[in-house]
Amino acid sequence: MNLLLVIEIFVAAGVSALLVRNAMTTNWRDAGTGTYVGFGMAGLLLLAVIHYYFKTKYFPVNPDMPEGSFFRWALQGLVIFGISGWFFREFGKAVGTEGSRRLFRSMPVTASFGVLTILAYAFVALFAGPIPLSMVVLVAVIGALISGVTLNVSGVTAMRIGYGITVVLTATCLVMYFCGGLAPYGEAEILPRANLLPGGNAATGGDPAHLLGTDQIGRDILSRLIYGARNTVGIAFITTCLAFLIGGTFGFLAATLGGWTDQVCSRIVDALMAIPQLIFALLLMTIATAWAGSNGALITLYMILIIAVLDSTRVYRLSRAVGLNIVVMDYIEAARLRGENLIYLIFREILPNATAPLLAEFGLRFCFVFLTIAALSFLGIGIQPPRADWGTMVRDLGQFINFARSSPLTAALPLMCAGAIALLTVAVNFVVDWMLHQSSGLKG
Amino acid sequence: MPDKEMLVKVRDLKIEGRAGEIWTQIVNGVNIDLHRGEVLGLIGESGAGKSTIGLAAMGFTRDGCRISGGTVEFDGIDLVNASAPQKRSLLGRRIAYVAQSAAASFNPAHKLIDQHTEAPTWHGVYGRTEAEEDAVSLYARLRLPNPDEIGFRYPHQVSGGQLQRAMTAMAMSCRPDLIVFDEPTTALDVTTQIEVLAAIRDIVDRFDTAALYITHDLAVVAQMADRIKVLLKGDEVEEADTRTMLAAPREDYTKSLWAVRSFVRNQKPPAPGNEVPVVSVKNVVAAYGKVPVLHGIDFDIHAGRTVAVVGESGSGKSTLARCITGLLPPLSGSVEFDGVALPADYRKRNRNQLREVQMIYQMADTALNPRKTIREIIGRPVEFYLGLRGEAKRMRVEELLEQIELEPAMFIDRLPSELSGGQKQRIGIARALAAEPKFIICDEVTSALDQLVAEGILKLLANLQDELNLSYMFITHDLATVRAIADEVVVMKAGKVAEAGPKNVMFTPPHHPYTGLLLSSVPEMDPDWLTTLLNERGIDNIGDAASEKVG
């Protein structure tokens, strides 16, 4: 009955759009009927969303059993993210060098939101816990050194920008040094009160000191969520870099040398890729766990190596394909005839022309690695407790989802961890999409 | 032909192109009148807006371009403001387009005849069966071999010249009133080109089709067009009847275009018999895998001389260059440099041997690394071979840039994408010079360039030769270039040397039959040239067919 009504409404909207079509001018004139039906449907959907949002908020059916809170949070999140992305882009357009401003002008809101999110994750990951003073000094010294070197390579402007960035970074580090980390408690710190509910309201079983409550053995969930950024994102980043080092090196070697090198490398990669990745990873992790015994750090190290090798097969495929396209160019032939060695060929002639597709792949690969780590941790063989990790946290807090009707905030706890994973994945993809669009030269 | 009715009327056409967010005008008010059955030639250098105007005459602009002013009328229909469905009913049916590269324009996944019949069946001109029958008759008309069968091949199974004719047949499929030909023979050899030209002219006459013929080759347009319009940077220079235009061009620019082909360098006297040649190719036999390509090539190149190697594509010219550079080690025979045999494989040559033999490529776009600045591109061989660094290296790079007549301060920090085609080719020359070689292989270095620019490059190469006593091996299929720059000529056919000798001997009769065929296939500025040639040889005796008979 309801379905029929919905269909009828859509059809009516489409027909009315068709009528509107005649009145439209130039740009709309050539659009097909489907376009109008689509616009009609989208408009109706928007109306339905707004209606549901306010109905559940102000006229709940049963005040004791709140309804639609997840829907409202999602919608609020969407709006907030959109606005923050837009503001970040406006900020980028107004501040910075001519080059960076042009970059921001060419960005869609999705990409600027992606960049903002990635920066926020990096910030949280770096400053989750207290940082040592030596790190502040290190940032200042390395920044100054790099800026100094750029003077010779890229000129005075680049050096000024370098020093500017160094000053900002050092100042941030210094502030964070005195603040002593973002997380209010340690990631493995066990506090006296376990099973506190989130919300910080003492009347409903919470504690203002623990905004998101504590878990079964009394660890602060907010702190663990913040530390999770450092562990999950950091380990995923290291793993991806390693995968690119392995896959990229062999891929370019295979493309440049060809012949036997190519055959051997490619067949090994084929063999590795023939086994479903997650199952293969599980298998290897089982072996690795047996080797490592109860040493949690060693298990994590094995996991990094295993995932890096498995993912490097995909990187190999891409860098070999990209490399092959570049190797046939005349400038490579010219360099070979000049007598250049392999290292020069790969790093100075091929790599600069392969950066765009490789960077895009880096973004995507990072997401896959990140998800694999979370999946392995969820299954209990990834990052080991007491180290906080989002995958493990989803598993630990998973049963709270049963309280969705009575206490939405409690049920949201595992969703926050999962959402943190999802948000970063989406953000990275936004940026990658934009970069691919830029490098492929597609316009309009 | 004022007696025929007007078909295309373009008035004050202005087109803008977008670079980033800025729109700049690239066509500044061009007028075109084209009557039914008439052929108008549009000529000019690249960047003159020829193709843009040709497409605009069909009511179409490329992405990033827009018509900003003026009118385009086709048979009374306003194409600028026509709606998409209206244009759809015209394009393919009454207006057709033949692109420069047929190989890139055919869909490689479908058979020729399927692509041919798409337009007539879609427009409802013919049913599928009739369209196929018509395709076969058009293939026969265009003298494609096996017209009954050739349509059932895929594009990659057909040669370049045949593909170009198949594309013309496809454009003809609905018997359009107007065809726009965009450089249809630029990518072809002289012997193949003549075939396509004859076929196009025949079919355009036969069906009384009007055509816009876009090209940068004056001799070609002289054969094809009734009237010629000269364009320069989006402006009309002049327009006149073909014969008037050829005999008495009014504007200076047109005269300069006409004069390009007159650059000829004096032939140097042959080297003394006892002089050791710089490069000596001795009985080189080479093959790709099991496919033999070169069958015993022998010739010498002396100091300060230019040897032009000519022949059609597939004759083994470029393979020969690969043998000399060592990229393709020959099966037998050797390449001697200053009397000493070079190792066959370039990997086994020492740095000095590599330095002495340099190469300039046909496509400057792919020969320069797009991510490196001119400073890095030219600086690398300077540093690599001569060990210069820092200030000394910078000085040497600037000196080289001056030698190739580019202002160092302006160009040294640019990327290749910020240069024009001719400038890129000059950078390629500078990179070769940076190694301070004795011998340079020039692989079709001017074939991708406009005539005026190509002439500049040839003059530069000639001056550098006089200055530095360089030896060139000049690979080309353009006999005008040979006439301009060569001292000696080697004619290659199917991996063998058909004839070799000093230029003056080669260009005066009696010729070896194949040399004669190549020479007589080069279009001349005389508008009656093609007609005369066809009368002499007969339409079945030109191009590939003739080439096979001679071979």
Residue B523, pLDDT > 50, answer yes
Quote the pLDDT of residue A443: 41
State the Rg of chain B over Cα.
Answer: 25
Quick one: pLDDT band at residue A442, thresholds 50, 70, 90?
very low
List of residues 6+ apart from B14 with CB closer than 8 A = B25, B27, B28, B29, B67, B68, B69, B70
Rounded distance between C-alpha atoms, residue B185 and residue B196, angstroms: 7
Question: Is residue A272 pLDDT above 80, yes or no?
Answer: yes
Q: Report the pLDDT averaged over residues A229-255.
A: 93
pLDDT at A151: 66
Phi, psi of B406 (to 5 degrees): -120, 140
**Nearest CA to CA, how far is B334 from chain A (Å)?**
18
Q: What is the mean pLDDT of residues B301-309?
A: 91
Over the stretch B148-189, which tens digit does the pLDDT of each residue have? 888 888 888 887 778 888 888 888 888 888 889 888 887 677
Q: Which two tokens stand for residue A439?
A: 């490098």
From the number of C-beta atoms within 10 Å of its C-beta (0-12, 13-18, 19+), residue A433 rates as middle
3-state secondary structure of B111: coil
> B75-134: per-residue pLDDT in tens?
888 888 888 888 888 888 888 888 877 778 888 888 888 888 888 888 888 888 888 888
Cβ-defined contact of A331 to B368 (cutoff 8 Å): yes
Residue B145 confidence (pLDDT) above 70: yes
**Whole-angstrom distance, CA of residue B471 vs CA of residue B306:** 6
Q: Is residue B388 helix, strand or coil?
A: coil
CB B194 within 8 A of CB B223: no
Instruction: Give the separation between CA A55 and CA A196, rounded to whole angstroms.
Output: 31
Residue that wins the pLDDT comparison between A285 and B217? A285
CA-based nearest distance B29→chain A, Å: 24
Which residues does chain A have within 8 Å of residue B357's beta carbon, measured at their own beta carbons?
Answer: 337
Confidence grade of residue A386 (pLDDT, cut at 50, 70, 90): confident
What percentage of chain A exceeds 90 in pLDDT? 29
Of B481, B478, B13, B19, which Cα lies nearest the Cα of B212? B13
pLDDT reported for residue B309: 92
The residue among A329, A338, A340 with the most chain B CBs within 10 A of its CB, best to mutate, is A338
Mean pLDDT for chain B?
84
pLDDT band at A324 (very low <50, low <70, confident <90, very high): very high
Inter-chain CB proximity A334 and B384 less than 8 Å = no
Answer yes or no: is pLDDT of A255 > 90.
yes
Query: What DSSP designation does B310 have?
Result: E
Q: DSSP letters of B365-380?
A: HHHS-TTS-HHHHHHH
Instruction: Tell me whether residues A337 and B435 touch, CB distance under 8 A.
Output: no
Task: Quote the CA–CA distance of B263 and B191 in Å, as a whole number.
Answer: 23
Average pLDDT over residues B368-386: 90
Q: Which of A331, A338, A349 sits opposite B367 (nearest CB)?
A: A331
Report, as an integer, the average pLDDT of B423-432: 92
Q: A111-131, pLDDT tens digit by residue?
A: 999 999 999 999 998 888 888
- Is the pLDDT at A189 greater than 90, yes or no? no
Model pLDDT, residue B510: 77
Cα-flanking dihedrals φ and ψ of residue A276, to 5°?
-55, 135
Chain B residues touching A30 at Cβ < 8 A: 83-85
Name the pLDDT band for A26 (thresholds 50, 70, 90). very low
Q: Which of B426, B464, B324 is nearest to A337 (CA)?
A: B324
Given an 8 Å threshold on Cβ–Cβ distance, is B371 in contact with A353?
yes
pLDDT at A444: 38
Sequence ranges of the domains in chain A = 1-59, 65-106, 202-440
- Quick one: pLDDT band at residue B539, thresholds 50, 70, 90? low
pLDDT at A51: 87
Q: What CATH fold (topology level) applies to the domain A202-440? A: MetI-like fold (1.10.3720)
Look at B381 and A331 and tell me if their CB atoms are within 8 Å. no
For residue B264, give both structure tokens. Answer: 């000829």
Task: Give the pLDDT score at A307.
Answer: 94
**A240 Cα to chain B: minimum distance (Å):** 25
Rounded average pLDDT over B333-359: 90
For the segment A205-217, what is each residue's pLDDT rounded down to a tens digit? 777 888 888 888 8
Q: How many CB atoms lie within 10 A of CB A162?
A: 20
Exposed/middle/buried for residue A401 (C-beta within 10 Å: 0-12, 13-18, 19+): middle
In chain B, what percentage of residues exceed pLDDT 70? Answer: 95
What secondary structure, in 3-state letters, does B212-259 show? EEEECCHHHHHHHCCEEEEEECCEEEEEEEHHHHHHCCCCHHHHHHHH
Contact list, B325 vs chain A (CB under 8 Å): 337
Query: Distance (Å, rounded) from C-alpha A344 to C-alpha A66?
Result: 65
Q: Which chain A residue's Cα is nearest to B437?
A: A338
Q: What is the pLDDT of residue B1?
A: 45
Closest alpha carbon within chain A to B381: A338
CA atoms within 13 A on the CB side of B136: 10
Average pLDDT on B202-222 reads 85
Pair of tokens at residue A210: 């623990």
The pLDDT, as a whole number, for residue A90 is 92
CB A353 within 8 A of CB A326: yes
> Tens digit of pLDDT for each residue in B431-462?
999 999 999 999 888 877 777 788 888 989 99
More confident residue, A344 or B18: A344
Among positive and negative, which fits the CA dihedral A373, A378, A381, A386? positive
Band of residue A25 on the pLDDT scale cut at 50, 70, 90: very low
The residue type at B377: I
Contact A338 B435 (CB under 8 A): yes
Subunit contact B369:A349, Cβ cutoff 8 A? yes
The pLDDT score that the predictor gives to residue B13 is: 87
Tally the C-alpha atoms within 13 A of residue A167's C-alpha that lie toward its C-beta: 6
Q: Which domains does chain B have, with CATH numbers?
A: 6-261 (3.40.50.300), 279-519 (3.40.50.300)
What is the maximum alpha-carbon separation in chain A? 81
**Interfacial residues of B (vs A; Cβ cutoff 8 Å):** 63-64, 83-85, 325-327, 346, 349, 351, 354, 357-359, 361, 363, 366-372, 380-381, 384-385, 431, 435
What is the predicted pLDDT for the residue at A110?
92
pLDDT digits (tens, 9 = 90+) for A71-98: 888 899 999 999 999 999 999 888 877 7
SS3 track for chain A: CHHHHHHHHHHHHHHHHHHHHHHCCHHHHCCCHHHHHHHHHHHHHHHHHHHHHHHHHHCCCCCCCCCCHHHHHHHHHHHHHHHHHHHHHHHHHHCCCHHHHHHHHCCCHHHHHHHHHHHHHHHHHHCCCCCCHHHHHHHHHHHHHHHHHHHHHHCHHHHHHHHHHHHHHHHHHHHHHHHCCCCCCCCCCCCCCCCCCCCCCHHHCCECCECCCECCCCCEHHHHHHHHHHHHHHHHHHHHHHHHHHHHHHHHHHHHHCHHHHHHHHHHHHHHHHCCHHHHHHHHHHHHHHHHCCCHHHHHHHHHHHHHHHHHHHHHHHHHHHHHHHHCCHHHHHHHHHCCCHHHHHHHHHHHHHHHHHHHHHHHHHHHHHHHHHHHHHCCCCCCCCCCCHHHHHHHHHHHHHHCCCCHHHHHHHHHHHHHHHHHHHHHHHHHHHHHHHHHCCCC
Q: Among A70-79, B284-293, B508-517, which is the least confidently predicted range?
A: B508-517
Q: Is the pLDDT of residue B550 over 60?
A: no
List of long-range contacts for B413-417, beta carbons under 8 Å, 24+ apart: B413/B373, B413/B374, B413/B375, B414/B373, B414/B374, B415/B370, B415/B371, B415/B372, B415/B373, B415/B374, B416/B364, B416/B365, B416/B368, B416/B369, B416/B370, B416/B372, B416/B374, B416/B377, B417/B370
pLDDT confidence of residue B154 = 87
| Mutation target among B63, B371, B372 for the A interface, most CBs of A within 10 A | B371
- Of A62-66, A314-318, B235-239, which one has max mean pLDDT? A314-318
- Rounded-to-integer distance, Cα A170 and Cα B2, Å: 80
The 3-state DSSP class for residue B328 equals coil
